[in-house]
Chain A
């Protein structure tokens, strides 16, 4: 079975400082991993995805994540936080049936990112 654990429910940073949102995953097979962002009263937006290509994945708005198999981690980072980054972030793993992707997503509990001026 697949699962994801977001290690922090709430992260607070100052504008212009680095962002680190932590995510660990569990999967019997090589996983497909995603980070989604949800701004207040908005829909989900895909930030980036890992699907067994390069382990360092670059996404939109300056975010990137590194897949580390040895640590079963997929942490999300950004060098410099912007006020507009304040939102809820979800680490997500794609569910598999055997070695096949089912298209279903398993969401972490979410991390609220607060950006202080």
Chain B
């Protein structure tokens, strides 16, 4: 099974700043995804991180606010831009291996915006 590491695990940020979350998988995977879990809520898919091309965003999420990179098959970043308190959430990275059908989650990055 794949192991996903996310950094930072938690952070406290000031309004108006941006923060980049890193996601490292210990093996090559077909697909990588980013989810958001707002306080007391379920998980919502932000986007699919595509290797070597622009991410595919779900309804309600835009690239200017959540730029995503995926330079190779094992690494992706999510930036939360111009943060406001409403962005306080847990952001989770997920990886899917199409060949095995296995899906894995990172531990999440808990952001608090003051």
Contacts and interface: CB of A to CB of B under 8 A. Distances in A.
Contacts of A103: 30-31, 33, 48, 96, 98, 103
Q: Is the interface of B mostly helix, strand, loop or mixed?
A: strand
Interface residues of A, number: 18
Q: Is the interface of A mostly helix, strand, loop or mixed?
A: strand
Interface string B23-38: 0000000110101000
A89 B105 CA distance: 15
A101 interface: yes
Contact of B106 (A43, A101, A105): A43
Nearest to B44: A107
Interface centre among A34, A102, A109 (most CB of B within 10 A): A102
A101 B30 CA distance: 12
Interface of B: 30-31, 33, 35, 41-45, 48, 92, 94, 96, 98, 101, 103, 105-108
